[in-house]
């Protein structure tokens, strides 16, 4: 099974092995996308230290850390969970609503292809994993500027053969 956790993506290959896909904090994170928050200064050193502690906590829980290639020019690239919706049966590679996030997607897809069959959200659909919550066989998606009706429709089409409903 593959699980996505807040701020990073987790890949559980089976019930006894968890692989956490992470990516280092980009030095350009100070220019990250913001939708609902007022911009405030970001302490890069603190963000890096918090991320290191996060990876150590995952390792302490038995996860194997698989760090993806750094993308220093992509401010939001540490948030790998936005680039895929991962289910036991397949991984759906998203198409982020923010144009600046789209260059992050293929490196995550490349890593996930070793663990799961892949499906993709196609234009004009947009979908971000941060708008998705999976509870058993129901997938809840918050329609937003980053996840549109077409992206949500495609997600439903891709997951319904596996017994999921999208709300």
Question: Is the pLDDT at 107 greater than 70, yes or no?
Answer: yes
Q: Residue 45 is inside which H or E element, if any?
A: helix 44-60
Domains along the sequence of the chain with CATH:
2-166 (3.75.10.10)
Question: Is the pLDDT at 43 greater than 50, yes or no?
Answer: yes
The larger pLDDT score, comparing residue 78 to residue 7, is at 78
Question: Is the pLDDT at 15 greater than 70, yes or no?
Answer: no
Q: What number of CA atoms fall less than 13 Å from residue 21's CA on the CB side?
A: 28
CB contact at 8 A, 135 and 128: no
The reported pLDDT for the residue numbered 62 is 94
The reported pLDDT for the residue numbered 33 is 84
**83 vs 8: CA distance, rounded Å:** 10
Quick: pLDDT tens for 114-162.
999 999 999 999 999 999 999 999 999 999 999 999 999 999 999 999 9
The reported pLDDT for the residue numbered 16 is 64
Question: Is the pLDDT at 28 greater than 90, yes or no?
Answer: yes
Torsion of CA 80, 29, 130, 63, to 10 degrees: 40
Q: Mean pLDDT, to the nearest integer, of 94-110?
A: 95
**96 vs 129: CA distance, rounded Å:** 8
Average pLDDT, the chain: 90
Residues ≥6 apart with Cβ < 8 Å to 63: 10, 18, 19, 20
The larger pLDDT score, comparing residue 13 to residue 135, is at 135
Q: Between the CA of residue 36 and those of 5, 139, 156, what are the distances in Å? A: 20, 23, 26
pTM: 0.85
Question: pLDDT over 70 for what percent of the chain?
Answer: 90
Which DSSP string corresponds to 74-115?
Answer: -TTTT-GGGGEEE-SS-EEE-B-SSGGGGGGHHHHHHHHTTT
Which DSSP string corresponds to 126-152?
Answer: -B-GGGEEEETTEEEE---SSS-HHHH
Task: Read off the pLDDT band of 6 (50, 70, 90).
Answer: very low
The reported pLDDT for the residue numbered 4 is 41
**80 vs 121: CA distance, rounded Å:** 16
């Amino acid at each position: 099974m593959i699980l996505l956790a807040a701020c990073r993506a987790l890949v559980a290959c089976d019930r006894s092995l968890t692989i956490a896909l992470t990516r280092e904090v980009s030095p350009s994170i100070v220019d990250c996308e913001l939708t609902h928050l007022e911009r405030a200064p970001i302490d890069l050193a603190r963000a890096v230290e918090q991320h290191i502690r996060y990876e150590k906590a995952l390792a302490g829980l038995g996860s194997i850390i698989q760090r993806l290639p750094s993308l220093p020019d992509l401010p939001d690239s540490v948030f790998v969970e936005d680039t895929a919706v991962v289910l036991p049966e397949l991984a759906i590679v998203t198409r982020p609503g923010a144009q600046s996030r789209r260059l992050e997607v293929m490196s995550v897809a490349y890593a996930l292809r070793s663990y799961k069959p892949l499906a993709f959200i196609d234009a004009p659909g947009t979908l971000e994993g941060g708008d998705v919550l999976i509870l058993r066989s129901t997938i809840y998606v918050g329609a937003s500027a980053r996840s549109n009706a077409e992206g949500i429709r495609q997600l439903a089409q891709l997951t319904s053969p596996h017994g999921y409903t999208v709300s």
